[in-house]
Structure 1
Amino acid sequence: MDNVLSFHQGRLPLLISMPHAGLGLTAAVRDGLVEQARSLPDTDWHMPRLYDFARELGASVVAAEYSRFVIDLNRPEDDQPLYAGATTGLFPATLFDGEPLFVAGLAPSAAQRAEYLEQIWRPYHDTLRGELARLREEFGYALLWDAHSIRSYIPHLFDGKLPDFNFGTFNGASCDAALAEQLQRTCAQASGYSHVLNGRFKGGHITRHYGAPAEHVHAVQLELAQCTYMNEVEPFAYREDLAQPTQAVLRQLLEVMLAWGQARYAR
């Protein structure tokens, strides 16, 4: 499988990960999807466009090219569940609304899924691991921002409407508490937006696995409500009028993260 990810190496100690931005499908997945899944409704839509300022900022960026319907890059390879209650696994079998993802009998085979693990999941994580190691070697520390988005209403997964900015630090285990506090303070000062820390989304495998403050790697997941930058119904159109002010907040959050790291690890 070619082009399983895109990667840009930046000049600052910040890596932005986009594991659910991909739209690519293998033939087996494409041919087996139920009709309502063919529009890829559970995608983290438009992430590269929303974060198009990241390269100018100086961040490294890695983004998936294959859909989470093929394999979920934010789940552990042993497929152990990360959340109690309704969730999706390494190889999703249901849509976010709980309906089956594949026509009965048409899900990819075990052999095909093993191939997806080796040829899609593993290269993404090798890239994450390698870039974080490079940043820590060069700067003495590394900052990881795991960028996600989701529809603001999904009754099968959570009650009511999500806050706009949902930060996850695995209940404080993946990053320094002072960094999390500064991110929350920045959001509180952003007019018209709501936020929460370690609410419904506490961080997936990437945040939990790579975030290691004692080893000077600080990871934060942001699950952004899609209503802040796009239409949440098909054809899932990007909304520049919504996205521009949201991008301003995102940029400020990343600048705060970088400034915190620089102050914390000043030599």
Structure 2
Amino acid sequence: MQLITHLPGSRALVLDSPHSGTVYPPDFGYACGLPTLRRAEDTHVEKLYDFAPALGAHWVEAHFPRSYLDANRNTTEMDVTLLDAPWPGPVETDPKILSKVRLGKGLIWRETDDGDAIYNRKLGVAEVQARIERCWRPYHAAVAQAIDAAHRQHGYSLHLNCHSMPAVASSHATDFPGEKHADFVVGDRDGSTASPALSALVCQHLRALGYDVAYNHPYKGVELVRRYSRPAAQRHSIQLEINRKLYMNEATLEITPGFEPLKAHLRSLVELLLATDPRRL
């Protein structure tokens, strides 16, 4: 069972898709229906960017679903209420970070975005540790390796963390339930993970294509952009959220006619980033 794809590239751009996985491991043991779980996926995101490796960009993709293990969370973001014994490792105490854990969206999800319980059992500590070893560590190693290679070869790296979001925030998804989302949300953790000029360039490009673009709201970027960015050392990471209404039917998960025009626009964005040296912005 392939859980991760890592395609090394030759350019300074790294793309990763941590939440588009559809391979549900047999040891998941979930209690809710699969259609309910599938709504947690960043469905089809990997298809929207499938042109990127041919352009020389590095590509990392998770095949495991985020509801099984969320690669965009730290291993400290542990929902200890899910476990049948004390967690032996460190547990996050920062209230801002714990807000997601309280919503049931820690490293291991407790609930779906609609508040449906995923399990009717407690998880074993060894079970969770095995998920970390099989999924989290290899995924993060691949992203780190790709960014290091890009930076080593070019003197800088651009990292685009690729996501999608529902048209309207669900009840247990964010701190803003019911909010209608923009077409795109560009997140750099309030300018801490990428040059503000680079983030502005991304926003401007998408707006020029006719899209409604929000900046750092309601998604600022999470662990993958936080962990692997250092703008002062020319390591830039941006989280990009795409509104699913642009390319798919959220009820059936089917691709809609908007998919191909959106993909062409994403290609233009990737080509722009491939041609951008952040040291000159």
Indicate which of 100, 115, 135 corresponds to 2:150.
Answer: 135
What whole-Å deviation, never above 9, does each CA across 1:82-141 have from its counterpart, x for those lacking one? 374646110000001122112x22x54221110010111000111111111111111111
* Structure 2 residue identity aligned to 1:35: G
Q: 1:173 to 1:101 in 2, by over 3 A?
A: same
Corresponding residue for residue 161 of structure 2 = 146
Corresponding residue for residue 124 of structure 1 = 139
DSSP 3-state at the match of 1:249? helix
DSSP 3-state at the match of 1:129? helix
% identical aligned pairs:
27
Q: Is the 8 A contact 2:104 2:112 kept in 1?
A: no
For 2:106 and 2:56, the matched residues in 1 are separated by: 33
For 2:22 and 2:31, the matched residues in 1 are separated by: 14
Alpha-carbon RMSD: 1.9
Q: Which runs of 5+ in 1 are unaligned?
A: none
Q: Is the 8 A contact 2:17 2:162 kept in 1?
A: yes
What whole-Å deviation, never above 9, does each CA across 1:195-235 have from its counterpart, x for those lacking one? 1110100001001111110121100001111111111112x
DSSP 3-state at the match of 1:63? strand
Aligned length: 258
1:180-195 correspondence to structure 2 within 5 Å = 180-191=199-210, 193-195=211-213
Deviation at 1:255, TM superposition (A): 2.2
Q: 1:262 to 1:211 in 2, by over 3 A?
A: closer
Corresponding residue for residue 224 of structure 2 = 206
Deviation at 1:261, TM superposition (A): 1.9
Corresponding residue for residue 32 of structure 1 = 30
What whole-Å deviation, never above 9, does each CA across 1:163-203 have from its counterpart, x for those lacking one? 01011100000000111111111111112x21111010000
Corresponding residue for residue 221 of structure 1 = 239
For 2:104 and 2:153, the matched residues in 1 are separated by: 37
For 2:99 and 2:226, the matched residues in 1 are separated by: 16
DSSP 3-state at the match of 1:120? helix
Q: 1:75 to 1:116 in 2, by over 3 A?
A: same
Q: What is the TM-score with the length of structure 1 in the denominator? A: 0.90
Q: What is the TM-score with the length of structure 2 in the denominator? A: 0.86
What whole-Å deviation, never above 9, does each CA across 1:7-47 have from its counterpart, x for those lacking one? 11112111100001111222231x32312655511101112
Indicate which of 62, 65, 77 corresponds to 1:64.
Answer: 62
Q: Which runs of 5+ in 2 are unaligned?
A: 78-91
1:1-267 correspondence to structure 2 within 5 Å = 2-29=1-28, 31-35=29-33, 39-79=37-77, 80=92, 82=97, 84=99, 86=103, 88-102=105-119, 104-105=120-121, 107-156=122-171, 157=174, 158=176, 159-191=178-210, 193-234=211-252, 236-239=253-256, 241-261=257-277, 264=280
* Structure 1 residue identity aligned to 2:266: L
Q: Is the 8 A contact 1:175 1:212 kept in 2?
A: yes
* Structure 2 residue identity aligned to 1:101: I
Q: Is the 8 A contact 1:42 1:150 kept in 2?
A: no
Q: Is the 8 A contact 2:165 2:242 kept in 1?
A: yes
* Structure 2 residue identity aligned to 1:23: T
Q: Is the 8 A contact 2:234 2:278 kept in 1?
A: no
Deviates more, 1:148-157 or 1:166-175: 148-157
* Structure 1 residue identity aligned to 2:3: V
For 2:52 and 2:43, the matched residues in 1 are separated by: 17
Runs of 4+ in 1 over 4 A off after TM superposition: 36-39
For 1:199 and 1:78, the matched residues in 2 are separated by: 24
